[in-house]
């Protein structure tokens, strides 16, 4: 566990979030907070509402009830692109890269919100538009360097193996220089070596850029290892919240994962 960094104030707070799809109650009165510069794990059995929670945070779902306070501003509903502009980036459980584009272009797309030249300048590709493009190319190259994917920068991502696609997706999220990074199962389907690489990248991102990270993961060893705090969801309810050691010892969590004897 990583305790050396100074964890700051509350960056994001979700309060009493409820969300339902027709008759299915995905989230019920979930309340927790994410503090600046921490690595927060969100765990729970399948269907517990973890991904729904991330979708609520970045504006993709609008909760039926509850408040979200991000950087001191409270909001109920916003569009995903507004969340992106405020510094929330995410990756997906099933990779959501732009398959027809190269690694470089995919990561460049992550910087879209920071590029402002209008289409007339871009059509001419002169002056400000060109300067802007090259400036952002430089920033993207630093991310490519950081993630050690130099060799595939011109390869269409559709041709890359799964592990590298996950890495490119992380790169695209990082390109937006987010304050809060949401990772939905960043290590799903990876072998041990790839998992270790990914853990290293996540910790490095947290350490070097001071990015706050909230991640969903099923590999308990990983979660207990890299997270500062863990929130446990089960059937849409929060059943525990605390340091990895506290959560591991919590009877409710053990019951949710292993089942309770009703005998």
Residues that bind another protein (CB under 8 A): 58, 60, 79-81, 83-85, 89-90, 92, 96-101, 105, 108-110, 112-113, 115, 117, 119, 122-125, 129-130, 133-134, 137-138, 141, 172-173, 176
Least separation in angstroms between residue 188's CB and another protein is 17
Q: Which is nearer to another protein, 16 or 82 (CB)?
A: 82
CA–CA separation, 48 and 33 (whole Å):
18
Backbone angles phi, psi at 23, to 5 degrees: -90, -10
Least separation in angstroms between residue 152's CB and another protein is 15
Query: Are the C-beta atoms of 241 and 231 separated by less than 8 Å?
Result: yes
Query: Are the C-beta atoms of 229 and 11 separated by less than 8 Å?
Result: no
Least separation in angstroms between residue 260's CB and another protein is 37
CA–CA separation, 166 and 187 (whole Å):
8
Q: Compute the C-alpha angle 8/10/11, nearest 5°.
A: 95
Q: Which is nearer to another protein, 53 or 129 (CB)?
A: 129
Q: Which is nearer to another protein, 62 or 79 (CB)?
A: 79
Q: Which is nearer to another protein, 142 or 200 (CB)?
A: 142
Q: Which is nearer to another protein, 60 or 235 (CB)?
A: 60
Least separation in angstroms between residue 53's CB and another protein is 15
Query: Are the C-beta atoms of 93 and 54 separated by less than 8 Å?
Result: no
CA–CA separation, 42 and 247 (whole Å):
11
CA distances from 238 to 4, 20, 92, 262 (A): 27, 15, 22, 22
Least separation in angstroms between residue 249's CB and another protein is 36
């Amino acid at each position: 566990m990583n305790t050396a960094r100074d964890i700051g104030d509350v960056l994001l707070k979700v309060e009493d979030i409820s969300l339902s799809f027709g008759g299915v109650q995905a989230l019920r009165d979930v309340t927790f907070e994410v503090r600046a510069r921490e690595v927060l794990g969100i765990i729970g059995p399948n269907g517990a509402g973890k991904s729904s929670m991330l979708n609520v945070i970045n504006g993709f779902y609008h909760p039926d009830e509850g408040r979200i306070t991000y950087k001191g501003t409270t909001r109920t509903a916003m569009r995903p692109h507004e969340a992106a502009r405020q510094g929330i980036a995410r990756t997906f459980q099933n990779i959501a890269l732009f398959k027809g584009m190269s690694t470089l272009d995919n990561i460049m797309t992550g910087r879209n919100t920071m590029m402002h030249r209008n289409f007339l300048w871009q059509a001419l590709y002169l002056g400000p538009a060109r300067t802007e493009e090259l400036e952002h190319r430089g920033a993207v190259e630093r991310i490519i360097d950081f993630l050690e994917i130099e060799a595939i920068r011109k390869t269409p991502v559709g041709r890359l193996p799964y592990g590298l696609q996950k890495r490119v997706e992380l790169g695209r999220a990082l390109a937006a220089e987010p304050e809060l990074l949401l990772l939905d199962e960043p290590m799903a389907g990876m072998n041990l070596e790839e998992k270790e690489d990914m853990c290293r990248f996540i910790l490095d991102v947290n350490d070097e850029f001071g990015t706050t990270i909230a991640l969903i993961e099923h590999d308990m060893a990983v979660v207990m290892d890299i997270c500062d705090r863990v929130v446990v969801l089960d059937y849409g309810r929060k059943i525990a919240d605390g340091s990895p050691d506290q959560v591991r010892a919590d009877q409710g969590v053990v019951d949710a994962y292993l089942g309770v004897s009703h005998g």
